[in-house]
């Protein structure tokens, strides 16, 4: 576990930097290219707590809520300052609707990913740098959606579930079948 995120060391220096960073950038995880080049050898690690509520839209019908997202990692500058590689660890809890009862279900998520940014498109795994800044928030959100389970079921979803078995006689089978009249 990352020591800067434990209860005992709640306000470590990197977390203090993260809070100051959030206040300065308006809660977004953006870096200028010059800033990344400057810190590439001395301070290339980051810890960040992001609020992704603004990314939840109406078309995400099963996603109800998301906790503050703990994002930590490091970055590297490769190939004469043309490519920026972020090794990122993401930890959060998302609340999804149960596929059977629509009750809220908390789903803890913790995963690691590598994000590659470059000024030119090298292959499909590269995110193009727009302007002079790299914004990790939309890319982190996309990775959360990729890792999100397609369907969740609440632990008590089947408690009140009952199934009625209906048997039909020969005449009902023929009348219920839209092709039954063709058979005659």
pLDDT tens digits for range 16-35: 554 444 444 445 688 888 88
CA 136 to chain centre: 12
Coil, helix or strand at residue 151? coil
User: 80 in the Ramachandran plot: left (φ > 0), alpha (ψ -120 to 50) or beta?
Assistant: left
Q: Contact, 132 vs 32, CB < 8 A?
A: yes
| 134/174: higher pLDDT | 134
Total domain count, the chain: 1
| 15/58: higher pLDDT | 58
HSE value, Cβ hemisphere, 13 Å, CA-based, for 70? 17
The answer to whether residue 68 is domain-embedded is yes
Which DSSP string do the residues of 166-180 spell out, in sequence order?
----HHHHHHHSTTH
The answer to whether residue 175 is domain-embedded is no
The answer to whether residue 50 is domain-embedded is yes
First to last CA, the chain: 71
Which has the closest alpha carbon to 86: 155, 22, 134? 134
The answer to whether residue 171 is domain-embedded is no
| pLDDT value, residue 122 | 79
The answer to whether residue 30 is domain-embedded is yes
Q: Where are the alpha helices (DSSP H) in 26-161?
A: 33-39, 137-147
- What span, in angstroms and rounded, lies between the C-alpha atoms of 72 and 6? 13
The answer to whether residue 74 is domain-embedded is yes
| pLDDT value, residue 20 | 47
The answer to whether residue 66 is domain-embedded is yes
| pLDDT value, residue 22 | 47
- What span, in angstroms and rounded, lies between the C-alpha atoms of 170 and 144? 52
Give the residue numbers spanning the domain of 18.
3-158
For 95-132, the pLDDT digits (tens) are: 999 999 999 999 999 999 999 999 888 788 899 988 88
The answer to whether residue 87 is domain-embedded is yes
Most confident region among 24-28, 80-84, 147-151 by mean pLDDT? 147-151
Q: Contact, 44 vs 76, CB < 8 A?
A: yes
Q: Looking at the DSSP assignment, which residues form a beta bridge with residue 72? A: 47, 89
| pLDDT value, residue 11 | 42
Residue 163 has pLDDT above 70, yes or no: yes
Q: β-strands 104-118, 126-128: how paired?
A: parallel
- For the chain, give the percent of residues with pLDDT over 70: 81
């Amino acid at each position: 576990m990352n020591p800067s995120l434990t209860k005992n060391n709640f306000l470590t220096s990197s977390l203090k930097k993260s809070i100051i960073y959030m206040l300065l950038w308006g809660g977004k995880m953006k870096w200028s290219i010059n800033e990344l080049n400057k810190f590439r050898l001395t301070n290339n690690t980051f810890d960040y707590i992001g609020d992704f509520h603004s990314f939840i839209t109406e078309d995400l019908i099963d996603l109800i809520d998301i906790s503050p997202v703990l994002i930590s990692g490091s970055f590297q500058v490769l190939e004469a300052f043309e490519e920026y590689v972020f090794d990122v660890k993401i930890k959060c809890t998302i609340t999804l609707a149960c596929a059977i009862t629509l009750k809220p279900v908390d789903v803890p998520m913790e995963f690691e990913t590598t994000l590659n940014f470059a000024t030119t498109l090298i292959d499909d795994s590269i995110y193009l740098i727009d302007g002079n800044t790299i914004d990790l928030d939309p890319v982190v959100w996309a990775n959360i959606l990729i890792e999100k389970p397609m369907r969740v079921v609440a632990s008590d979803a089947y408690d009140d579930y009952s199934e009625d078995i209906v048997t039909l006689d020969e005449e009902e089978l023929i009348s219920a079948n839209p092709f039954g009249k063709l058979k005659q």
